[in-house]
Chain A
Amino acid sequence: MSWFKKEKAPIPPVKQSRMPEGLWTKCRECAEILYTKEIVRNLSVCPKCNYHMGLSSVERAKALLDDGRYEEVETGFTSNDPLDFTDTKRYRDRLARSREATGLEDAVLIATGHIDGVPVVLAAMEYGFIGGSMGVVVGEKIARAAERALEQRIPLLIVSRSGGARMQEGAISLMQMAKISAVLARLDEASVPYVSILTDPTTGGVTASFAMLGDINLAEPKALIGFAGPRVIEQTIREPLPSGFQRSEYLEEHGMLDMIVERSEMRETLGRLLRFFTQQVTPSPSSAPHVKDVKDAMEEQVPSPVPDEESVS
């Protein structure tokens, strides 16, 4: 038994992203050794360097939804190992072990609850379940989550945390990208809001489908987000990658993210977004400018006879 537990990407899967019995946790980013209780109190964000450690899907649901209350829905699905796949282990054994380790049926938790009083459907991916990879069960559960949101006309939130499509289900997992995206097209048509929350890491077929299709795409700080993994890119182009490449800040700079949101501000930000999307508005005569007012206002703007120096081109 060691005095501290090094926080790292949970492969092999562990029940939670930190070992709760460990008194001390070492931050993976800044190597600071921290009191575990303090990290937990801080939503698993390093108080020293602001590194956002991974959350399990249950932790995520509790952190996002009002009073930490949620109801798990869309349960009752497991993969039957359709290709009878074996690599270094049998896929069905991996599934069994992951189910046991995470307490989930597969790599996503679908829950209903509220954010700031607004009812939502939440899908939170579980990295501890075969790297959060998307196979037929993840595809089905997220598709159903979206359909539930559509049916009830309430916002859909998906928290992505995934290495991408699940190889052990071959092209079946690839097709889940199309399956979910097709349902999202229906939400889009019905003006049912969808907020995509990208967390560390979100890559491959998950990024190249639902994670990038939100009405709003937001990410936690410093999350690895991309289509191809950094190692694959490095091997292909044979040169070092720019610093900060494929991190949230880099994506935001390149126009690929609407915003980066600290975990401590996530609930409040989501609340604001959801109110924008869901607030019923009855325009009152006094709040909207009258046509006449607008006209009057325009007439007040007398064009200056000589253009400003700055506007001369």
Chain B
Amino acid sequence: MGTEILDFEAPLAALQREIESLTGYPEDAGKEREIARLQTKLDEMRRQVYAKLSAWQTVQVARHSQRPYPLDFIEHLFTDFVEIKGDRRFGEDPAIVSGMAWFHDQPAVVIGHQKGRDTKQKIRRNFGMPRPEGYRKALRVMKMAEKFSRPIFCFVDTPGAYPGIDAEERGQAEAIAVNIREMSRITVPIIVTVIGEGGSGGALAVAVGDEILIMEHAIYSVISPEGCAAILWKDASRAEEAAEGLHLTAPQLLEIGLVDRIVPEPVGGAHTAHHQAAQILNKYLVEALERSQRLTPEERVQARYSKFRRMGEFALDTTGTQ
């Protein structure tokens, strides 16, 4: 499998190649020592690189084609997954997967943007960009979860809602708006995890929950850095600058109170170790669910309401004429 090497990973990849080339030589103690030494060096380098990714580098990691997607997390963390398709109005949208599954000892509903790994899958899943029917399907499944008192897990990973003629015709804006409103009052626990790209309204449409977790190298933004640069600087190539300005990394989002917890990733990013990434996430999901389940449905809805009602409050200056 060809591994996607990001620009800033080039020195890591070079060292990796060096190690691989050594393994071709005959066995001897000196070679083993050299390999061990280089491996230690590589691990340390990787740790350093990943400890201080720039915003733009984080964007690249968040979009890495080998990152774990919802179906990967479902495979690692859930059992007996049964996929549910279609919005019962227009069609099925493979850009969002949804279904029933068991999370440890309890039945739950899982919803997530699914990007697709190879070219064929990417096209089938429209690169994880949902159309209205994807959002309507998601809401239908969430309402079912509510009806049967099952918690909801949402995994967010999308460049954004699909900007296409058909999507607009069928009410992309309305579909997103309704999801956002309805999620604010669904009575069962909703645990949201931003696992890759949290692309604007297309992400938010499945991201109103009791707890918003974000993986260490995931992003969440009002617009893509490229889109932002194209509009504000009239120059998409200034995306790197835009990424810095948008405050889209996990630590920045935590600082401004838009997410609740950062889920650490294995060194080198979740794309290097799906199983390990899932195991870390597992602990966070268990705890978040426990916290939400301690509340009564009324308390839960009130808590979720208050959380979103206060979002960004610190950015308000009150001039006191009120």
Contact = CB atoms under 8 A, between A and B. Distances in A.
A171 B308 contact: no
Interface string B251-286: 001001010000000000000000000000000000
A175 B311 contact: yes
A68 B198 CA distance: 44
A35 interface: no
Nearest to B321: A76
Nearest to B205: A208
Contact of A182 (B305, B318, B319): B305
A174 B204 contact: yes
B201 A143 contact: no
Given A233-B168, A237-B165, A136 B185 contact: no
B299 to A, nearest CB: 16
B171 A233 contact: no
Nearest to A232: B163
A36 interface: no
Contact of A181 (B172, B180, B318): B180
B220 interface: yes
Interface residues of A, number: 68
Contacts of A204: 201
Interface in A163-202: 165-167, 169-179, 181-186, 188-189
Interface string A248-273: 00000011100000000000000000
Given A174-B222, A181-B184, A205-B200, A213 B178 contact: yes
Given A174-B204, A205-B201, A75 B322 contact: yes
Interface string B279-322: 00000000000000000000000001100110111111111111
Interface in A148-176: 165-167, 169-176
Contacts of B242: 87
Interface string B147-178: 00000000000000111110111111110111
Interface of B: 161-165, 167-174, 176-178, 180-182, 184-185, 198, 200-201, 204-205, 208, 220-223, 227-228, 231-233, 242, 245-248, 253, 256, 258, 304-305, 308-309, 311-322
10 tightest CB-CB pairs across the interface, nearest first?
A228-B163, A82-B315, A76-B322, A182-B184, A87-B232, A175-B311, A172-B312, A207-B173, A227-B173, A208-B176
11 contacts: A80-B317, A167-B222, A170-B246, A170-B247, A170-B248, A181-B181, A181-B184, A182-B184, A208-B176, A208-B180, A233-B164
Given A182-B181, A204-B201, 20 more contacts: A75-B321, A76-B318, A77-B317, A78-B316, A83-B245, A139-B312, A172-B311, A173-B312, A174-B200, A175-B308, A175-B312, A185-B185, A207-B177, A208-B174, A209-B177, A210-B177, A212-B173, A228-B161, A228-B163, A232-B227
